[in-house]
Amino acid sequence: MSTRVLIVGATSAIAEALARRYAAQGATLFLAARHTERAAAIADDLRVRGAAMVEVGAYDATVPDRAEALVAAAWEALGGLDVALIAHGSLPDQAACAASAALTRRELEVNLISVIDLLTPLASRMQAAGCGTLAVIGSVAGDRGRQSNYVYGTAKGALAIFLQGLAHRLAPAGVRVLTIKPGFVDTPMTAAFPKGPLWASPDRVARDIQRAIARGTHICYTPWFWRWIMLVIRLIPAAIFHRTQL
C-alpha cells in the first residue's frame, strides 16, 4: 500500500520539493492550497514522477471554518492518512506589525490559529485510527523572541508548545508529531533577502523532513547546524542579547 500524504500549503517551495520525493516513491497525495491552478500543475508533475494518485483541494488559511471540511475531504479521498504536512504560512513585515495590532492579529491567525484549526481534526482522526504522522513546519524564529521578527517568532514559538502537548497526548495512540524548524531557506518568500552560507535549498530541507518522518523523530532542525546556532542564541544572557541587532 502506498503512503497516503496530505500536504497543506502545497504550492510552497518546501512542500513541492517534499511532494516530489513522495511521488517518486509511488505515494498517493492530496494537495491543498489557496492557488488551486498552481496546485493542479504541481499535481500533473507529480503524476509523471510516479505518484499513484494526486488529488487537489482548495484551502485558504485566512478563511475560518474551512479546516475540518478540508481534512474530511482528504481523509475520504485517500482512505485515511499516513502523513499530514502543514506547510502554509506568511512572513510578516515586522515594522508594519509593530505599528498595527490588527496586522499582528492577522499574522498570528495565519501562522498559528489556522494551523491549530487543521491539527485538531487531524489529531482526532489519527488518534482514532491509531497511526499516522503530523508534521508541521515551524521555524527557528520560535526559539527566542528577537526584535527583527518577534511577531512571526511568537506564532512559531506558541505553535511549538502546542505541538509538544499534542505529541504527549497522541503518543499512547501511536500517532507521531514532528515539529520542523528550518533556518534560512531560499524560497520565493525570502527572495528579497541577501543569501549566505547558512541558507539551504528547499530540496535539502525536504530531504531532512522526509528522513525525520521516516525515523519518527519529534524535532527536526534543518539544516542540522541550526540546532546548535539556536542553542547559543537561547543561552545569551538578556543583558548582552539586548545590545544586539538580531
Q: How many whole angstroms separate alpha carbon 232 and alpha carbon 7?
A: 33
Q: Calculate the dihedral angle through the C-alpha atoms of 234, 239, 243, 244, rounding to the nearest 10 degrees.
A: -10
Residue 221 annotated among the catalytic residues of the structure: no
Residue 176 φ/ψ region, left for φ over 0, alpha for ψ in the -120 to 50 degree band, beta for the rest:
beta
Counting every residue written for the chain, the total comes to 246
Q: How many whole angstroms separate alpha carbon 51 and alpha carbon 74?
A: 16
CB burial of residue 151 (10 Å; 0-12, 13-18, 19+): buried
Which of the following is catalytic: 22, 59, 150, 152?
A: 152
Bridge partner list, 220: 180
Catalytic residues: 152
